Structure 1
């Protein structure tokens, strides 16, 4: 396969992991002789477009929460036959069923079409159907599943998963789940830039409090499913007993939301510093300098930021709903706890009592796990191999 198409709702870096995963994999696939292009439903004048070294065609913005745009179907009808392979990233939006439906129409009409796969990025996880705060969305998803998404999952040539845990969980969520192929293709990230003083300075310009104190780092979207409220509550209980514990840095988009405001209220009076979204040197400076990377998420399909921390030799403390927790635990690259207040509180206690020698062993194992399992070059080669087997 020499030419791939990726279809995704948005390439906005603030939208989370899927678009970052695309940005990670495309250069590695290019090294293997595969050209990859992206079509998305972002506005054509979006500020983040034009900064990537691969072609992105923006057809949006999509209308309604479903992200519908009339431009997608004619674009696919004209261009879909130009590709050897197409991958839909994500579910529940028009990019999913709209792409599948157009592909099937062309295929049924005898037109040349590529092999089509869908990568759900954890969106078939049962968490999304069980979380109390998602009751309305769960009802919507059940309806969409019966009307639309079941056709996509069962009709495409295969469903791509980032890890074994995601694959297994997907089987438990909806009735009538019968994909033609379930493919655990893994996932990877690019090698981070080498640690530099410039990175450290860029981070400290935004968080000067970290210049003289050790810090724990949460770096992800500010969202209820990430468990940040539990982290702050657990931190408060330890701070009351020991005010000399490391400060807590919380970085990521979403602080302007009601949940973000709630977190700021919870953190009042504590040495907790909210950074907003960190990018470039500031992000890498934060990751390299952290004592621990902490993610107490209630659901995390893969966790690109987790693996970025591993790549920076920063040990991680994560909850069990982070789907790669087994790999991290087995490699002794971090600590694992449950995603409730008791579990997060106990997890932080382990960080506080851990001997420095053991922490350094975790840091060494973190980097080693990245090199052996999550390097993007190996992940891209494996993806190419899997897709070629299904030509």
Structure 2
């Protein structure tokens, strides 16, 4: 099959959705399918040339947060019919509205991944944005969902939450598998290379956060909880890895200094490639007390690296983690984050080792890229575009 993913941007700094497009796309290509991406990016942007899949960058987008690219609609009108299926990724940007307009004009079906963007948490966290969305909803995104051949969710939790977000709501819902490629398994050389670059971590009990350093992720909860247990375990160390998209890291670092933790938290910035995998293997557990997480690719990656996950119950795959006993789960609050950290420290070495052994089994059973790829093909087979004329 020849598939087209439509996204606002292929910049991987934006987090999970584009990472999912990439990992699924690479695996589908290995399986013999053709996968291309259309985005609103500036064609001269470095992240476009660095993206491993073919990209039709149709920007640059106009300034502002909407990522409007005037040529996207005309390009889709000219080329969409040459693909077996069009998959729209994400809402609330011009690309989803443009895809809806064109596919409706052409009389061809499309499917859409919401990527957690209908989670009601966003309405509570950003009330002013919610007012703008309420105005926009009936004329745009409601129709984008209503007319899609399938609206794809990556967990039952995400599907149920989406129904609470806006009214009216109509969608042909379908839950599909999601995941990522098995991380490299040569742990020791990756670990040693990372520790060579970060010698302050050697001999420490490292807890890893890896993702956007954003208020939604609960990074402040980690710092505050760590401050309350730091004296109990002098070897405990936080590794806070990821890009700072909102200028929040300075405030977090200042808080760490006030708490006397400046030398016990490492901030390496965004990690990719071997450095990312080295960070996983240099850590004993992965921590994500997020206030909202549709799936959490980094959670799946941690499991694939054999690392237990300490997550909030706002990470939508928390039920699978609890069922498999591959991590610990608590509320996305200061008390909850403290409880989960204390529970981890209170576990015996044998119990931690047993939990570690269960992580890879969960990855294989629920979050592998093979299942992720084939589930999309199953959807496309059901809602394949009409025969070309």
TM-score class, shorter: over 0.9
Compute the displacement of 1:27 (Å).
2.0
For residues 53 and 341 of structure 1, the distance between their equivalents in structure 2, rounded to whole angstroms, comes to 39
The aligned counterpart of 1:199 is 190
1:72-122 CA deviation, whole Å, 9 max, x = no partner?
Answer: 011111101001111110100000111111211222xxxxx3x30111100
Q: Does 2:282 match 1:283?
A: no
TM-score by structure 2 length?
0.94
Deviation at 1:197, TM superposition (A): 4.3
1:103 and 2:103 matched: yes
Alignment of 1:136-151 (within 5 A): 136-151=128-143
- Give the match for residue 387 of structure 2: none
Long gaps (5+) in structure 2? 385-389
Show the 5 A alignment for 1:67-78.
67-78=67-78
Distance 2:92 2:197 in 1: 36
2:112 aligns with 118
**Equivalent position SS for 1:122:** coil
C-alpha separation between the residues in 2 aligned to 1:38 and 1:258? 30
Partner of 1:5: 4
Counterpart contact for 2:203–2:235, Cα < 8 Å = no
1:14 and 1:284 mapped to 2: Cα distance? 17
Question: TM-score when scaled to structure 1?
Answer: 0.94
The whole-number CA distance in structure 1 between the counterparts of 2:196 and 2:18 is 27
Aligned partner of residue 44 in structure 1, secondary structure? coil
Report what 1:18 is aligned to. Answer: 17
The equivalent residue for 1:38 is 37
Farther off after superposition, 266-275 or 217-226:
266-275
Farther off after superposition, 352-361 or 298-307: 352-361
Where do residues 37-76 of structure 1 align in structure 2 (5 Å cutoff)? Answer: 37-63=36-62, 64-76=64-76
Out of 133, 149, 168, the residue aligned to residue 176 of structure 1 is: 168
Residue 90 (structure 1) aligns with: 90
Query: 2:312 touches 2:318 (CA, 8 Å); kept in 1?
Result: yes
Is the CA contact 1:215–1:249 (under 8 Å) kept in the aligned structure 2? yes
Q: Do the aligned residues in 1 keep the contact of 2:303 with 2:309 (CA within 8 Å)?
A: yes
The answer to whether structure 1 residue 328 and structure 2 residue 321 are counterparts is yes
Offset of residue 257 of structure 1? 3.4
- State the SS of the aligned residue for 2:38: strand
Equivalents in 2 of 1:124, 1:175: separation in Å? 11
The list of structure 1 runs, each at least 4 consecutive aligned residues, that deviate by more than 6 angstroms after superposition, is none
Task: Tell me which of 215, 233, 236 is aligned to 2:224.
Answer: 233
Return 186-195 or 305-314, whichever deviates more.
186-195
Q: Distance between the aligned counterparts of 1:183 and 1:117, measured in 2?
A: 10
Alignment coverage as a number of residue pairs: 379
Matching residue within 328, 336, 339 for 1:343 = 336
RMSD: 1.4
**Deviates most, 181-190 or 193-202:** 193-202
Q: Which runs of 5+ in 1 are unaligned?
A: 108-112
